[in-house]
């Protein structure tokens, strides 16, 4: 216990030191960017009188999570308060002036018109790359680059997300869920799951394994570890994706030392995964006959080879960096959103019954539609989109003002306002504020998938961001989620798992308990016990 305590304190101290160094670097970088006519104090003063939050730690600070008066705005309050801060300050753009972690002002945006302007104009509003530097992992990638460098990455990355890949996602997802239901769960009527993410994470992992890396994996364990490796590909992928936050928050020197089994396993798996990817790159380069495959990694390698030996070609590190970003986006986002969808369907049985009847109307026999018929499953897609609206995977999308600008917005009465946005201002696209804004969404706190069946405010829906920097893998995620929900709800009714200690709770208490969540790379439920009952 003493050793663990010392280690924990050491990690905390190193993280605090790193945080302080990063903050000082941010201050210096900001000072360098400011012209003599626009000092830091003048920049803060230029919007200080605009309504908003005034805390030592701003809402973009991960260091002090809860809201503490005058001290911390609370990072997670971005999700828990949703649109309330905007209502309190009577504007769909709210300022935040703090000193940590971002010196100077931040504008939080829950106005669809202003957000569309910010996401569409990459020259005026750029991505603050310093915020994303931790996402380099195995190498530079399409997420952490801007300008010509971003164009180079996107040109080679975008073709990977093709209709052929989407069809692969659909077919493999159905096969993976069928193996679970007909193999692992064979002969069982009721299947209790102590935490629904323990179900959705492996499904998403297997899908990204085959559709992302071309590595088909099974629910039945493969114990053959190749020589020179610590783990199978499946286990390495699972450990790295599950504990990726360790790479973000624990210094690499500590990870390499491995003072605990969890850290040792993570680092070994992290190194293994890099070797697996390099082996795949080498095998592809050394193959005389290129097998026609449609997984993301193979398509990425093919697109890269078509560039020849020019400057546009991605290095091996950049190839690995991009495919690993696909893993993060395609694995965590879908797994956690489908988990929230199952929770909402378990809580709202009437909505689950509507969904079941819809699925049976589209596919009344034992088969499922082919990928080309996915469009018929409109209510399944609506459930997925409504879940993403209520539980956006990323609650804060940062931007940076490269030049002086103004942004349009409104107060709660609909009166027009103009917000000053001087050069050097950080912006936060406040996804929960936008998704719960009653200006765009009627009864925004109500789970109502039918709102996505007709016309709906597309500019006020940003789970995949928007503009040129929107997520390349949106269709991948939607295809996987619709396949999972269709198969599972067709064959199982989902209920809340009854536990004796919660026997007397009300519906609202149960809902609050099941929907308790946190955010790491994406928003996820902490613990939601459900039971799947075969129909």
Binding residues for heme: 471
Could you please report the per-residue DSSP string of 333-360? HHHHHHHHHHHHHHH-HHHHHHHHHHHH
For the record, the structure tokens of 527 come out as 């613990």
Give the burial class of 282: count Cβ atoms within 10 A of its Cβ; 0-12 exposed, 13-18 middle, 19 or more buried.
Answer: exposed
Q: Which of 327, 222, 313 is nearest to 270 (CA)?
A: 327
Structure-derived torsion over alpha carbons of residues 327, 328, 329, 331, reported in degrees to the nearest 10 = 70
CB 408 within 8 A of CB 113: yes
Numbered residues of the known binding site: 471
Alpha carbon of 419 to those of 84, 221, 422, 440: distances in Å?
19, 57, 10, 20
Q: Which residues pair with 106 in a beta bridge?
A: 96, 426
Q: Which residues pair with 75 in a beta bridge?
A: none
- Alpha-carbon 58 to chain mean position: 21
Using only C-alpha atoms, the chain has a radius of gyration, in whole angstroms, of 24
As a whole number of angstroms, the distance between CA 474 and CA 487 comes to 20
Handedness of CA 296, 297, 301, 302 (dihedral sign): negative
**53 three-class SS:** strand
């Amino acid at each position: 216990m003493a050793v663990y305590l010392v280690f924990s304190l050491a990690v905390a101290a190193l993280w605090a030191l790193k945080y302080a160094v990063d903050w000082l670097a941010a201050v210096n970088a900001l000072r360098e960017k400011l012209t003599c006519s626009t000092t830091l104090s003048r920049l803060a003063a230029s919007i200080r009188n605009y309504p908003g939050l005034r805390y030592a730690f701003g809402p973009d600070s991960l260091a002090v999570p809860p809201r503490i008066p005058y001290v911390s705005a609370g990072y997670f309050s971005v999700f828990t308060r949703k649109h309330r801060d905007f209502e309190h300050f009577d504007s769909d753009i709210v300022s935040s002036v703090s000193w940590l972690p971002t010196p100077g002002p931040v504008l939080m945006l829950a106005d669809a018109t202003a957000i569309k302007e910010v996401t569409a104009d990459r020259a005026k509003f750029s991505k603050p790359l310093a915020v994303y530097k931790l996402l380099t992992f195995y190498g530079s990638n399409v997420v952490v680059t801007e300008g010509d460098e971003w164009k180079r990455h996107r040109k080679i990355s975008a073709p990977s997300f093709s209709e052929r890949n989407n069809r692969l996602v659909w077919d493999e997802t159905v096969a993976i869920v069928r193996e679970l239901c007909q193999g692992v769960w064979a002969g069982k009527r009721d299947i209790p799951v102590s935490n629904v993410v323990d179900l959705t994470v492996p499904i998403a992992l297997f899908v990204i394994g085959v559709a992302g890396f071309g590595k088909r994996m099974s629910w039945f364990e493969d114990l053959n570890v190749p020589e020179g490796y610590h783990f199978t590909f499946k286990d390495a992928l699972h450990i790295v994706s599950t504990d990726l936050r360790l790479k973000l928050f624990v210094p690499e020197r500590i990870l390499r030392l491995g003072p605990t089994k969890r850290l040792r396993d993570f680092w070994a798996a992290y190194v293994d995964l890099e070797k697996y990817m390099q082996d795949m790159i080498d095998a592809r380069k050394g193959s005389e006959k290129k097998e026609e495959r449609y997984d993301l990694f193979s398509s990425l390698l093919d697109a890269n080879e078509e560039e020849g030996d020019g400057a546009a070609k991605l290095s091996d590190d950049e190839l690995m960096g991009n495919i690993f970003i696909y893993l993060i986006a395609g694995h965590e986002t879908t797994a956690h959103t489908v988990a929230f969808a199952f929770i909402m369907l378990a809580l709202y049985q009437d909505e689950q019954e509507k969904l079941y009847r819809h699925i049976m109307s589209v596919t009344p026999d034992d088969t499922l539609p082919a990928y080309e018929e996915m469009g018929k499953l409109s209510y399944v897609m609506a459930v997925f989109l409504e879940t993403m609206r209520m539980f956006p995977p990323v609650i804060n999308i940062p931007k940076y003002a490269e030049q002086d600008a103004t942004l349009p917005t409104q107060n709660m009465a609909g009166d027009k306002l103009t917000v000053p946005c001087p050069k050097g201002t950080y912006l936060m696209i406040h996804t929960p504020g936008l998704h719960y804004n009653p200006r765009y969404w009627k009864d925004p706190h109500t789970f109502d998938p039918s709102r996505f069946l007709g016309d709906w405010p597309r500019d006020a829906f940003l789970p995949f961001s928007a503009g040129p920097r929107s997520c390349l893998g949106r269709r991948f995620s939607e295809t996987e989620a619709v396949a999972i929900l269709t198969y599972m709800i067709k064959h199982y009714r989902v209920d809340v798992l009854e536990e004796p200690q919660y026997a007397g709770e009300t519906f609202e208490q149960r809902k609050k308990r099941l929907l308790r969540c946190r955010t790491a790379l994406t928003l996820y439920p902490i613990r939601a016990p459900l039971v799947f009952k075969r129909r």
